């Protein structure tokens, strides 16, 4: 799995960091999303999908990882 966060769209709601704190963080000054990793471990997959679903501006993209 690959995850991306569009910092231009982000409105600092923090829903992503609450849904998957192992994958998402927020900048201390701006509150804008920061990725802890763009290739989260399998055990965080459900949280990442939840984070993408609850983002009010759809700033999180999740895709299957491509091999080779």
Q: Over the stretch 25-52, which tens digit does the pLDDT of each residue have?
A: 999 999 999 999 999 999 999 999 999 9
2-63 topology per CATH: Alpha-Beta Plaits (3.30.70)
Strand boundaries in 1-68, DSSP class E: 2-5, 24-26, 33-35, 60-63
pLDDT grade for 66, boundaries at 50, 70 and 90: low
Average pLDDT score over the chain: 94
- Residues 52 and 10: beta-carbon distance below 8 Å: no
pTM (two decimals):
0.90
Residue range 52-67: mean pLDDT, rounded: 89
What 3-state class would DSSP assign to 27?
A: coil
pLDDT > 90: percent of the chain: 93
d(CA 16, CA 23) in angstroms, rounded, equals 9
């Amino acid at each position: 799995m690959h995850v991306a966060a569009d910092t231009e769209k982000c409105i600092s709601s923090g829903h992503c960091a609450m849904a998957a704190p192992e994958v998402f963080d927020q900048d201390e000054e701006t509150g804008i999303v920061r990725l802890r990793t763009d290739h989260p471990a399998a055990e965080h997959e459900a949280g990442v999908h939840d984070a993408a679903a609850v983002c009010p501006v759809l700033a999180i993209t999740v895709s299957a990882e491509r091999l080779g």
